[in-house]
Structure 1
Amino acid sequence: MILQRLASSIRKQDWFTVFIETLIVVLGVFLGLQVNNWNEARAAEARKAEIVEALVTDLKDATNVMEQAAIPAIEAGLADWEAAFQRGETPAPYYFRMDGSDIPPNTWSVLQQMDIIGLFDPVTIFDLNMYYSEMDGVGRKYIRYVTFVEDDILPYEAGDPGYFYTDDGTALKPQFRASMDRLREWRGEMSRLGRWANCLADRLDAGTHPEMSCLRADPSISAESLLALPQPETPHDP
């Protein structure tokens, strides 16, 4: 109807009416585009809120597993082994095995399929990529560790405890001492990942645009420490 009136006004050379009708068309198109943009923005914000909630849940779940289950169990187990060894006993090497799957879910792969790049600032994307990449790497280390446990410790645990010790019985054989050392290292890596996950969860909850990544904000999880994680100081076999 508007276009018909506009054409009629042009034939009549009614320029004022032409201007008004043209203005109405332009405003109508503009408002339609704006409403569409607003709807898309609201949908994007709602999608981002759902993804943030899922991310925070995943990060906090990982932290709970580390801080409330894995790390306390490892520390208690190592302490019990050390106490028994100091009493002159020859306990089998302490090992740690998790219930269920030995590896965490591949969360980052799922997030990439959801195309989250445009939803977060570059620092947050960098942090999430680095965190989940490091989580995957630490998980692979655990697989190597637990494979040794299942192949070289569990089959002999019920037998002669002297199997795990040197001929004079004063120290664990090198491969079993190394296995416990790897567990101590893994405990330290899990602790660092827990602090990292907490930092990410807090920033996602706050919805801020950080100036630095969680990786650089915490000196204990610097790039250098991720490349060469120091082993926590613990007593060694005499």
Structure 2
Amino acid sequence: MAVLLDRIASSFASKRALIGAMVFEFSIVFVGVTAAFGMESFRRDREEAAYRSGIIAALIPTLDYVLLHNRDFETEVEAKLAAFDAAIARREQPALPMFRERDSERPPVRIWDSVVATGAARALEPDLLFRLSVFYNRQDSFGERYVRYAAYTEERILTLGSDRAAIYDGSGTLRPAYSAYVDRLRDLVVAHRDLAVQARTLRAELQKRGQIGR
């Protein structure tokens, strides 16, 4: 038994240098592979951060466009409603105030669909993603309300032409159906204001997060 142990010890001693070299080489490989994985992870993290910052930067102009459209809408419609109300107060029979989108069938509400379709939404944090989804869903709902309003305008209002007798009764009072039509326009203004408040809040947060990500 002692002879066998001596042989094993002798064999190990003769190959100690080779074993040491192999251990060293394995250590170098291990360190290299680990470093490579670490660098790849770092690279992916940086790319993800840059991608996220890019999406945030791209969303800000879309909110700017919404705010610009809302401002133009409110300016035009509020002026028409004010003029209409003033004429009614003077016991006149003014034409009904109305709004029609220019060069479009509806307001700009499909922006979020593009963000989701391209997979860009994955770059957003969950809470911000949820709030943006709610906002753009409300935008889409507003678009549907406007489409109904525009359809009624084309089918029931524009066809009246200058016929005031169809709009006002014998006492000069606005008929209920057309009073309701004017109220729907007022409702659109209120909805626009609420969306503008949300858009400003989200824009400020996106800008802040974009700066933090840089």
Give TM class, smaller chain.
0.7 to 0.9
1:65 aligned partner:
69
C-alpha distance in structure 1 between counterparts of 2:66 and 2:15, whole Å: 74
For structure 1, which segment, 182-191 or 95-104, has the greater mean C-alpha deviation from structure 2 after superposition? 95-104
C-alpha distance in structure 1 between counterparts of 2:68 and 2:52, whole Å: 24
User: Which of the numbers 78, 83, 86 marks the counterpart of 1:83?
Assistant: 86
C-alpha distance in structure 1 between counterparts of 2:109 and 2:141, whole Å: 13
For structure 1, which segment, 75-84 or 11-20, has the greater mean C-alpha deviation from structure 2 after superposition? 11-20
Point out where structure 1 has 5 or more consecutive residues left out of the alignment. 1-10, 209-238
CA drift at 1:16: 2.2
Point out where structure 2 has 5 or more consecutive residues left out of the alignment. 1-13
Amino acid at match of 1:79: A
Task: Assess if the C-alpha contact under 8 Å between 2:84 and 2:97 holds in 1.
Answer: yes
- Pick the structure with greater CA Rg: 2
Task: Assess if the C-alpha contact under 8 Å between 1:56 and 1:204 holds in 2.
Answer: yes
For structure 1, which segment, 125-134 or 24-33, has the greater mean C-alpha deviation from structure 2 after superposition? 24-33
| Other structure's SS at 1:207 match | helix
How many residues in Structure 1 have an aligned counterpart in Structure 2?
195
1:146 aligned partner:
150
User: Which of the numbers 182, 186, 190 marks the counterpart of 2:192?
Assistant: 190
Give the TM-score of the pair, scaled to structure 2. Answer: 0.85
Report the RMSD for the aligned CA atoms in angstroms: 1.8
1:202 aligned partner:
204
1:228 aligned partner:
none
Give the TM-score of the pair, scaled to structure 1. Answer: 0.77
C-alpha distance in structure 1 between counterparts of 2:168 and 2:112, whole Å: 42
C-alpha distance in structure 1 between counterparts of 2:158 and 2:185, whole Å: 16
C-alpha distance in structure 2 between counterparts of 1:66 and 1:118, whole Å: 28
C-alpha distance in structure 2 between counterparts of 1:22 and 1:192, whole Å: 65
- Matching of residue 28 in structure 1 with residue 32 in structure 2: yes
Bigger relative CO (Cα 8 Å, ≥ 6 apart): 2
- Structure with greater proportional helix content: 2
> Percent identity of the aligned residues?
27
1:233 aligned partner:
none
